[in-house]
Amino acid sequence: MNQQWLTILMSKGIELEQNLRQQLQQAKDGLKNQLEDRGIRLGAADLAALLEEVSPKASHAALGYALDIVRPFSAGMGLRISRLKDTQIEVVIPARTRNMNEAKQMHEGAILTTAIEAVKILWMRHAPMGNFEIAVTRIESEFFKVQTGECRLRLELAENTREVVLADLRDRRESTSAADVQIFDENDQAVGSVQMQLKLKHTPALSSSAE
């Protein structure tokens, strides 16, 4: 009997996940069609941002699910995006076994991986059309409290920083920037930080020679 109930619960979970993905796709397709009927064409990042405005919880859930299936090195970590705006992101690392070390403390590698993911997700919201690459050239971290529970990583991207970088990408096809990711525990107490130096490159979808 217990095995039967377990099978039923698992099937219901799969069904809910499939329904969520279907609803998200329908919402995305509907928005895209309505905009195109008005002569407006949006890139993938802009469309995702618009979907987030319409249904932020669904958008965050979809992004968290995508992290588990698109990024092989973070697959199974269970990363959850709890806040995402044009200039802010918060990613939660659950206290799963694979995210902890042998002392049952949050593994430093898990924190660094999540910090890099947070930086890339936030910058990808502003990606120009074409091929956009983000490389981490330097990383430093500071942990001033041991974490045994979930961690929340937060990053803010100043508007003036974003505009300077995007201007460089338009003019020179590459730019550099810094990122300061703050780490908090489940009680919203600061427990550390991760600083990164980034190199960003952009190859336009249509080169000037083809125009």
- Taking residues 164-185, what's their average pLDDT? 96
Q: Write down how long the chain is.
A: 211
- Is pTM, for the whole model, over 0.85? no
Per-residue confidence band for 70, with pLDDT thresholds at 50, 70 and 90: very low
Burial of 99 per CB tally in 10 Å (0-12, 13-18, 19+)? buried
Look-up of token digits 């796709």: 25
CB neighbourhood size of 127 (10 A): 20
- For residue 166, count CB atoms less than 10 angstroms from its CB and return exposed for 0-12, middle for 13-18, buried for 19 or more: middle
With a pLDDT cut of 70, the percent of the chain lying above it is: 62
User: Could you give the count of Cα atoms lying within 13 Å of 126 in the half-sphere of its Cβ?
Assistant: 24
CB 152 within 8 A of CB 121: no
* Model pLDDT, residue 211: 43
C-alpha dihedral, 155 to 158 to 159 to 164, nearest 10°: -110
Tell me the C-alpha distance between 164 and 99, whole Å.
Answer: 36
pLDDT recorded at residue 20 = 61
100 touches 77 (CB < 8 A) = no
Residue 14: pLDDT band with limits 50, 70, 90: low
The pLDDT of residue 93 is 93
pLDDT beyond 60 at 48: no
Give the pLDDT score at 51. Answer: 55
pLDDT tier at 68 (50, 70, 90 boundaries)?
very low
